[in-house]
Amino acid sequence: MSIWFNDSPRESLQRAAAGGFADHIGVRLADIGPDYLCATLEVTPQLHQPYGVLHGGASAALAETAGSVAANLCVDPQRFMCLGQELNVNHLRPVIAGVICATARPFHIGHRSQVWGIEIRDAAERLICVSRLTMAVVPCRAAA
């Protein structure tokens, strides 16, 4: 059974992928299933911290992007939007290069909040980062 509001979330996924910070650093929305969303990021020297490994902020941005897009695909976009409230990130393994993949799955999808678990893995399927993202579900406001 699908958790998505829209019967065809792939179309919504493509619209969500364009522009903004995540697009600027190279986050790509890659796959969507009945209860998960995957986003990828190619680790390049531009995303390294001074010691030559992936910057933790890039992992956090990838995790928040995957969870945030997923959360917003679970609500009626004419009535609600989901905004990040809290992000917890644990870095488990350094990454120097390659493509990493964040998979977001819900722990809780409620009327006022959502909680998502995001695992980031490298190309060898090794767990490099785990995150928990809390999203507030708020009513859309009329455009000013």
Query: How far apart are alpha carbons 105 and 142 in whole angstroms?
Result: 30
Instruction: Please provide residue 106's backbone torsions phi and psi, each rounded to the nearest 5 degrees.
Output: -80, 140
Active site residue 11: no
Q: What pLDDT, on a 0 to 100 scale, did the predictor assign at position 78?
A: 94
pLDDT < 50: residue spans in the chain: 144
For residues 120 and 59, is the Cβ–Cβ distance under 8 A? yes
Q: What pLDDT, on a 0 to 100 scale, did the predictor assign at position 20?
A: 86
Q: What pLDDT, on a 0 to 100 scale, did the predictor assign at position 1?
A: 82
- Domain limits of the chain? 9-139
CATH superfamily entry for domain 9-139: Hotdog Thioesterase (3.10.129.10)
User: Tell me, what DSSP letter sits at residue 142?
Assistant: P
Catalytic residue (one of 11, 64, 119, 125): 64
Give the mean pLDDT of the chain.
92
Q: What pLDDT, on a 0 to 100 scale, did the predictor assign at position 61?
A: 97
